[in-house]
Amino acid sequence: MSFIVEQDIEEAALDILKELGYTIYYGPSIAVDGENPKRTARDDVVLKEHLITAVRKINPPSIPTVAIEEAVKKVMRTTSAKTIVDNERFHEFLVNGVEVEIRVKDRIKGISVKLFDFEKPENNDFVAINQVTIVENGNNRRPDILLFVNGLPLGLLELKNPAAPNATIYSAFEQVQTYLAEIPSVFTYNEFVILADGTTAKIGSITSPWEWFLPWRTIDGKSRAPKTIPQLEVVLKGMCNQKVVLDLVKNFVGYQKTKKETIKVIGGYHQYHAANKAVERTVKAIGGSKKAGVVWHTQGTGKSLTMAFFVGKITRDPRMRNPSIVLLTDRNDLDDQLFNTFSDYRQIFRETPKKINNQPELKESLKISSGGIFFTTIQKFLDKKESSFELLSKRDNIVVVADEAHRTQYGLKGKISKDQKLRFGFAKYLRDALPNASFLGFTGTPIDFADKSTRAIFGDYIDIYDMHSAIEDCRVVRIFHEPKLIKLGKNEDIFKELDQDLADVTEFEEQNNREYLKSKWSKVEALVGTKTRIETIANTIVKHYELRQATQNGKALVVCMSRRICVDLHDQIKRIRPEWYHTEDTKGRIKIIMTGSASDGKAWQEHIRTKQKRREMAELFKDSDSDFKIAIVRDMWLTGFDVPALNTMYLDKPIRHHNLMQAIARVNRVYKDKQGGIVVDFVGIAEELKKAITIYTQSGGNGSPAYEIEDAIKVMMERYEVVKSIVGKFEYAKFFTGTHQEKMRVIPGLMEQVLGQAKGKERFMKNTIALTRAFSLASATPEAQQIRNDVALFQAITSAFTKTDTTQGTRSDLMDTAIKQLVSKAIEAYGVIDIYRELGVEKPEISILSDKFLDEFQKMEYKNLAYEALKKLLYEEIILRFKTNKIKSRKFSEMLEEAIRKYTNRSIDSAQVVKELIEIAKEVREAQKQGEELGLSEEEVAFYDALANNESAVDSLGEEILKKIARELTDMIKQNTSIDWKFRQSVRAKLRLMVKKLLKKYGYPPDKTQIATDLVLEQAEILSDKWVDLQYATV
């Protein structure tokens, strides 16, 4: 029995919201026909009077009433068939106000009308309403709680009971998807959705897929809330308090446009609080040290978007006096990526971001008197002819925001260059140009404890969001290191052959600085790119990739040391798998992404593309459904490039320190049920990883940037042994090696073995799913390949068990999944495992439970398997046939549950439980005939059963009188119930009185009248939902 129900969670949420200053209303009471009507129609989603009153209050008295009314009309008007289009239009109104034109005397005057007072949250009207019934296009839906600010439904809460197995937080997500399809108007104004089940709570936007509904972990913004506090309480107090929620919806919401769709993004708690801390530190830095600090948010957690949120908010802050923002990177491709991110979310900013392409443009742009959001590379601040840079501006409201602030290029110290001139770190030239600017750094990797130059420029950490937090919040997945070292002839360690400067040779330098080609780097590149080694790597990649693809859909990135190696490796893979290659960019599985020129020769030209073409190829690679699955790169796409479906990196390039952490993080993005990213290491980065982890922990980070593939193998083998222990000594190996007859007996025998144990099915399925997830990570290892056939068989059995599961509304682990079910030749030949086939019977059409069919179950050899099949059939039959008959549904459900309980507790064995289920099945079959025998409709039978549930009433009144009462009850209740009647006490009281009068009229036993009336009203609630749905479906 459940000790908590959904209503308890709802009431708890409302209590918290009341504490936060929300006025609480009950949906039915504020409906058009409620006691306190605030809606004029059932399809109203805006509290119009609240909106008008609030807007009048927060705008200056000088704004005429006609302007207020016109603004309200504009807000309530929809302009598109697509909800997201209207949602974005409304968000523009929310942030910037509503522009209206009114006639003043003989001219037209433009006026901006505010919808919210963001400066003084207490001036706004905060309302929470539960159980609001919305009717739209014949659909009747009732969200659990809607949060209104100034009459506009900005938030939606969908709640589920954690104690009910059928009601999960995923079923809450599915419910919201139903609302989106059936009552889209409520989402025109929606800024956030909260899903909760009492223990877990997640937030997302109207376009968020399931995997991007994420937790809000803090109440005060300073520390993560203790796990003893329910997550729903944390999200309500931490995010829905009046100050935070208004700040969040104004400054931390963006819309990203892709070729396929518009994606609405709402900032996570780490982004919200980090950006706000950065704003305050920057304001403080202006009048002080000019060091605003460093934000360290681990790779893959939305660092670029946090930067955008920061810039959007700091430029609106009046204390900054319309500042100029300079966003710095140290490479052109990173500059492009960051600029593209800001361009994608341009509605966050008051002005259009500008990309600076050369030094003269830089000087001209930064000499302006105020404003501007500029993107440039730090190298543009270097004057090759001078040891200093000209002064561009003395203003103190210039903020320099550096991406990857740990880079050595940002240093201040000078050193003698090759031409015997004194050269300084680029930060020195920045200070020359902008002496009063403040500096803020963002990084995805920690600053080395010994790195004093970075702290000298930017200051200390403002905010840390480490790998442990990111993984716990499901912002990223774990990275696993899979070593497959391919030696360089006699040398085992490529890193011993390259010093740091040579390891950092870039693609641009390789292409344009021929001096490097005569260096030690060139000699090592020749060792790395020998024909024999490339052939070995190509064969390894093809084999590994195909094994990975057998278990998990995804993409792969191959990283090479030079452009020449990229081309040679591509050509070798093409020889092995010619079907992967295609001359057209939009076709074919494998492509090289690199820079180049006409001087590179004819053989390379098909791989060299313009910047625009490379941008198109990036979009193609990001598309999880495109044919482009494997990208070969030298430097491109190794930082700031997000491809959620990317799950494997093949690394054949020596990379160190921060660059290594940035590169391997490409595979840590969340995608469906992706279990982790794999980095296949051909060059031996293990020691470099250890060094990176040391820096990581010394800098205050928790968790690890990468794990070893042995960790996944260990989990896989542990789960495999657990599953095998459940299977016991049953010889399932004959399925793969035995005769046809032996194979046919393995499947039912194995299923019977599992079902014969205490909670055997549950334990088998749980551990097989965990085994499958670990296998998807370790699939290309020898250990995984040794157990591959067994895992495939266990998966097939689990799928068959899933079909007999009577739990509804939970998420299937095979739905919308990146993990594939393994296919072995034996399983493929056998076909889909079906429980009825294994039992040797044909599954009957639903409701045809004939004596012959039931007798077959009685005679079956595999009683546990027979029990599973019959239990599922009975469950479906009861749900289908008696879903609108409370008495029969309860009676047969209790009978079924009691039989299951006795079997589960081993009070009866499998043969006895099958016998009991057969008897229940026969009773169910007979009960279906009752209406025909009594001459009553299905609805009338339901009320008849409610009345006949009392034996003394049957004895005293007889069947005919009860039938007459049932018919009259059906007509009376149909005529006197409408939408939401069951939530209105006055209507319930009136109907209760009418039922009692009718029962009294026919002499129903007085001492049983109260119980009968309660049952009749419960039955009426079930049937009235059906009647109302039919009524509005025909409107």
* Residues 10/130, Cβ–Cβ less than 8 Å: yes
Q: Name which of 80-84, 223-227, 501-505, 990-994 the model is least confident about.
A: 501-505
Please state the CATH superfamily assignment of the domain spanning residues 479-699 in this structure.
Answer: P-loop containing nucleotide triphosphate hydrolases (3.40.50.300)
Segment 773-777 mean pLDDT: 90
> DSSP 3-state assignment of 109?
strand
The DSSP result for 464-511, as a single string, is EE-HHHHHHTTSB--EEEEE----BTTB--HHHH--HHHHT--HHHHH
Q: Report the 10 Å Cβ neighbour count for 269.
A: 25
Query: Would you place residue 620 in the very low, low, confident or very high pLDDT band (cuts 50, 70, 90)?
Result: very high
* Residues 34/986, Cβ–Cβ less than 8 Å: no
Q: b/e per residue, 437-463, with b = 16+ CB within 10 A?
A: bbbbbbbbbbbbeebebbbebbbebbb
Query: What are the C-alpha distances in Å from 1001 to residues 282, 707, 934, 961?
Result: 80, 77, 22, 11
Q: b/e per residue, 953-992, with b = 16+ CB within 10 A?
A: beeebeeebbbebbbebbebbeeebebbbbbbeebbeebe
Residue 785 has pLDDT above 90, yes or no: yes
> DSSP 3-state assignment of 750?
helix
Closest by CA position to 363, among listed 311, 432, 315, 415: 432
Residue 410 is predicted with a pLDDT of 55
In this predicted model, what pLDDT tens digit does every residue of 326-336 receive, in sequence order? 999 888 888 88
Q: What does the mean pLDDT of the chain come to?
A: 86
Q: How far apart are CA 735 and CA 88, in angstroms?
A: 57
Residue 367 is predicted with a pLDDT of 87
Q: Name which of 751-760, 906-915, 1000-1009 the model is least confident about.
A: 906-915
| pLDDT winner (highest mean) among 188-197, 549-558, 930-939 | 188-197
Tokens representing 449 are 């404890």
Query: Would you place residue 508 in the very low, low, confident or very high pLDDT band (cuts 50, 70, 90)?
Result: low
Residue 1035 is predicted with a pLDDT of 44
Q: Do domains 269-465 and 479-699 have the same CATH topology?
A: yes
Segment 732-756 mean pLDDT: 84
Report percent pLDDT > 90 for the chain.
51
* Residues 189/152, Cβ–Cβ less than 8 Å: yes
Element (H, E) at 293: strand 291-297
> DSSP 3-state assignment of 642?
coil
Tokens representing 319 are 């204390």
Closest by CA position to 94, among listed 234, 16, 213, 192: 192
- What is the arrangement of strands in the sheet containing 555-560, beginning at the earlier edge strand? 590-593, 630-633, 555-560, 646-652, 677-681, 479-483, 707-708
Name the CATH topology of 269-465: Rossmann fold (3.40.50)
Phi, psi of 248 (to 5 degrees): -65, -50
Q: Name which of 126-135, 309-318, 408-417, 507-516 the model is least confident about.
A: 408-417
Residue 623 has pLDDT above 80, yes or no: yes
Query: Would you place residue 861 in the very low, low, confident or very high pLDDT band (cuts 50, 70, 90)?
Result: confident
C-alpha atoms less than 13 angstroms from C-alpha of 199 in its C-beta half-sphere: 9
Q: How far apart are CA 668 and CA 647, in angstroms?
A: 7
Query: Would you place residue 808 in the very low, low, confident or very high pLDDT band (cuts 50, 70, 90)?
Result: very low
Closest by CA position to 412, among listed 441, 453, 442: 453
Q: How far apart are CA 942 and CA 619, in angstroms?
A: 58
* Residues 973/1024, Cβ–Cβ less than 8 Å: yes
* Residues 96/75, Cβ–Cβ less than 8 Å: no
Q: Name which of 404-408, 518-522, 823-827, 865-869 the model is least confident about.
A: 823-827
Query: What are the C-alpha distances in Å from 957 to residues 326, 934, 963, 1014?
Result: 88, 15, 10, 19
The structural domains of the chain, with segments of one domain joined by +, span: 6-45+120-264, 269-465, 479-699, 712-833, 851-928, 933-1033
Q: Report the 10 Å Cβ neighbour count for 845.
A: 7
The DSSP result for 957-983, as a single string, is HHHHHHHHHHHHHHHHHHHH--TTGGG
In this predicted model, what pLDDT tens digit does every residue of 348-358 receive, in sequence order? 998 999 999 88
Residue 816 has pLDDT above 50, yes or no: no
Q: How far apart are CA 277 and CA 306, in angstroms?
A: 11
Segment 793-822 mean pLDDT: 63
Closest by CA position to 774, among listed 784, 782, 766, 764: 784
DSSP one-letter code for 225: P
Q: At what angle do helices 48-58 and 65-76 cross, to 10 degrees?
A: 130
Residue 418 has pLDDT above 90, yes or no: no
Closest by CA position to 411, among listed 430, 428, 393: 428
Residue 591 has pLDDT above 60, yes or no: yes
Residue 838 is predicted with a pLDDT of 57
C-alpha atoms less than 13 angstroms from C-alpha of 16 in its C-beta half-sphere: 21
Q: How far apart are CA 973 and CA 940, in angstroms?
A: 11
Segment 27-42 mean pLDDT: 90
In this predicted model, what pLDDT tens digit does every residue of 894-905 receive, in sequence order? 898 898 888 888
Residue 965 is predicted with a pLDDT of 92
Q: How far apart are CA 143 and CA 136, in angstroms?
A: 13
Distance from the Cα of residue 194 to its chain's centroid: 13
Residue 104 is predicted with a pLDDT of 81
Phi, psi of 227 (to 5 degrees): -70, -10
In this predicted model, what pLDDT tens digit does every residue of 167-206 receive, in sequence order? 789 999 999 999 999 999 999 999 999 999 878 999 999 9
Residue 703 is predicted with a pLDDT of 76
Phi, psi of 102 (to 5 degrees): -130, 155
Q: b/e per residue, 401-429, with b = 16+ CB within 10 A?
A: bbbbbbbbbbbbeeeeeeeeeebbbbbbb
Tokens representing 276 are 């706000």
Report percent pLDDT > 70 for the chain.
86
In this predicted model, what pLDDT tens digit does every residue of 453-505 receive, in sequence order? 677 788 889 999 999 999 999 999 999 999 999 877 655 566 565 555 555 56
Tokens representing 818 are 């990146």
The DSSP result for 4-44, as a single string, is --HHHHHHHHHHHHHHTTPEEEEGGGGSTTSSS---SSTT-
Tokens representing 256 are 């990203």
Tokens representing 898 are 């009691």
Q: How far apart are CA 71 and CA 83, in angstroms?
A: 20
Segment 768-784 mean pLDDT: 91
C-alpha atoms less than 13 angstroms from C-alpha of 1008 in its C-beta half-sphere: 18
The DSSP result for 116-127, as a single string, is --SS-GGGS-EE
- pTM here? 0.86
Residue 841 is predicted with a pLDDT of 55
Residue 416 is predicted with a pLDDT of 45
Q: Report the 10 Å Cβ neighbour count for 778.
A: 28
Residue 839 is predicted with a pLDDT of 57
* Residues 1019/943, Cβ–Cβ less than 8 Å: yes
Residue 77 is predicted with a pLDDT of 93
Task: Give 6-45+120-264's CATH code, choosing from 1.10.3430.10, 3.40.50.300, 3.40.190.10, 3.90.1570.50.
Answer: 3.90.1570.50
DSSP one-letter code for 410: G
Q: How far apart are CA 530 and CA 535, in angstroms?
A: 9
Residue 387 has pLDDT above 70, yes or no: no
Residue 502 is predicted with a pLDDT of 52
Top-confidence residue, 744 or 360: 360
Q: How far apart are CA 651 and CA 479, in angstroms?
A: 13
* Burial class (CB within 10 angstroms; exposed 0-12, middle 13-18, buried 19+) of 809: middle
Give Cβ neighbours of residue 878 (< 8 Å, ≥ 6 apart). Answer: 889, 892, 893, 896, 924
Q: Name which of 265-279, 392-406, 510-524, 572-586 the model is least confident about.
A: 510-524
> DSSP 3-state assignment of 424?
strand
In this predicted model, what pLDDT tens digit does every residue of 424-459 receive, in sequence order? 567 788 888 999 999 999 998 887 655 566 777 888
Q: How far apart are CA 216 and CA 568, in angstroms?
A: 48
* Residues 886/1018, Cβ–Cβ less than 8 Å: yes
